[in-house]
Chain A
Amino acid sequence: MRGWATDTLAASLAYVLASILTFAVLMPMQNVFFPEYPSRASLLFLPHGVRVLSAWLLGWRAVFALLPGVFIVFAYLAGTDVFLPTRLLAIAVAVLTVPAVFYLLKAVGWDLFPNPNRKPCWICVMGVGIATSFLVSGLTNLVFGSATVEYIAFLIGDISGLFFLMLGLYFAFRFADRRPG
């Protein structure tokens, strides 16, 4: 039970922090550097990275671990509209798609989940991130009925977000290793 609570706290907190960084820091910068860019979607959407890594690490438990974080972010962005059926559907898409793809791949014999007896394949995890980005973007745009430009922006944001989150995590580990004690 304690493990569940820790997983939920860590995954949801990571999702909220990644969202804050995306919406409060990266998007204002994007608006400064690309003022003519028509879409309101972020071109560096870090929360997708949190979704992918949580699903890879926690499996189906990621659905419940991410749910509070995803709900908080949707509520922050949409206010009371978060309870609209389209928003609730988008929340479901956000938390369910990535674990579903990992399990689907496992079912067809390509188990990418962590295993102490083998080396993890980051390119495969990136691959799942890209595939799920297509799915999440497609399904989310279907729910909201957005334009094609939004769909492409979601894709770019998700893929770059996953890559840069992993890169950031790599440098964070390296920084932690350098600290004495």
Chain B
Amino acid sequence: MTEISKLTELRKLMQSMERTLGLEKLSPVERDIYYAAEELSKSTQEVRTFGLIEHTLVQSISRPTFFRALKSLVEKGYLSQSGSANRGRYIVHAPR
């Protein structure tokens, strides 16, 4: 293992710790979207972008900010795109 990959593995370990301890910082918009998605996921397993946009917590957020935050939540692992062919559906994951 090279020095860089050792550092990468160490960072990955810290990242897994960050998730479990809830140290990862979500922006207020990301948090609102996540809470909305979590609420919607209680009735249906998958959450639709359309349903999210209409949620009271998310309504006031502009479209570009909403999609940026949605992408960030996917990157951080809080949401993942559904494996089904229909795009715009997400699965909510609990912070690990």
Interface residues of A (CB under 8 A from B): 3, 6, 53, 56-58, 114, 116, 119-123, 125, 166-167, 169-170, 173
Stretch from B1-9, B36-44, B58-66, B82-90 contacting the other chain: B1-9
Contact in complex: B11, A173 (CB < 8 Å): yes
CA distance A166 to B10 in the complex (A): 10
Chain B residues within an 8 Å CB radius of A121: 16
Give the chain B neighbours of A120 by CB distance below 8 A. 9, 12-13, 16
**B5 proximity list for chain A (CB < 8 A):** 116
Judged by a CB distance under 8 angstroms, whether B94 is at the interface is no
Known contacts A6-B3, A114-B1, A173-B14: does B20 contact A123 (CB below 8 Å)? Answer: yes
Interface residues of B (CB under 8 A from A): 1-3, 5-6, 8-14, 16-18, 20, 23
Interface residues of B, dominant DSSP: helix
- B10–A122 CB distance below 8 A: no
CB-defined A-B contacts under 8 Å, sample of 20: A3-B2, A6-B3, A53-B10, A57-B1, A57-B6, A57-B9, A58-B6, A119-B16, A120-B12, A120-B13, A120-B16, A121-B16, A122-B16, A122-B17, A122-B20, A166-B14, A169-B10, A169-B14, A170-B17, A173-B14
Q: Are A3 and B16 in contact (CB under 8 A)?
A: no
Whole-angstrom distance from the CB of A132 to the nearest CB of chain B?
17
From B2, B10, B14, B23, contact of A57 by CB (8 A): B10
CA distance A58 to B5 in the complex (A): 12
Which A residues are CB-close (under 8 A) to B9? 57, 114, 116, 120
B11 to chain A, nearest CB (A): 6
Contact A125 B13, beta carbon cutoff 8 Å: yes
